[in-house]
Amino acid sequence: MTATTTFCGCPHRLQEYLGARVEALQRNQAFIDQYRDPRDKHLARREAIFPAGTWWLRRFAGVKCADVGESAPPS
């Protein structure tokens, strides 16, 4: 049994799934890359602006976050 026969039996569907998965992984890695420096600054008790999507920290820790649609400014 191959990957093309285990996923709906449709090779084109498998390609769509894999493409979407790769895109999601790339978006996740980009978020982590944007998050890393502000996290280090926050832990050092320096002012930091976190990327959009950091709702919990904004709500409960009072950190500053970039607006949706813009990335955190470079530090």
In tens, the pLDDT along 31-60 reads: 999 999 999 999 999 999 999 888 899 999
| E-assigned strand segments in 21-60 | 49-50
- Does 40 fall in a domain? yes
Rg (the chain; Cα; Å): 18
Q: Is the backbone of residue 45 left (phi > 0), alpha (psi -120 to 50) or beta?
A: left
Q: Looking at residues 6-17, what average pLDDT do you find?
A: 70
Q: Supply φ then ψ for residue 65, to 5 degrees.
A: -130, 150
Does residue 75 fall inside a structural domain? no
The answer as to whether 73 is a domain residue is no
Q: Is the pTM of this model over 0.85?
A: no
Q: Is 61 contained in some domain?
A: yes
* Domain range enclosing 47: 3-65
Q: Take residue 63 and report the two structure tokens written for it.
A: 């950190």
Our count of domains for the chain comes to: 1
Residue 71 pLDDT class (50, 70, 90 cuts): low
**Is residue 71 in a domain?**
no
In a domain, 70, yes or no: no
Can you list the pairs that 42-51 forms with residues at least 24 positions away whose Cβ atoms lie under 8 Å?
48/75, 49/73
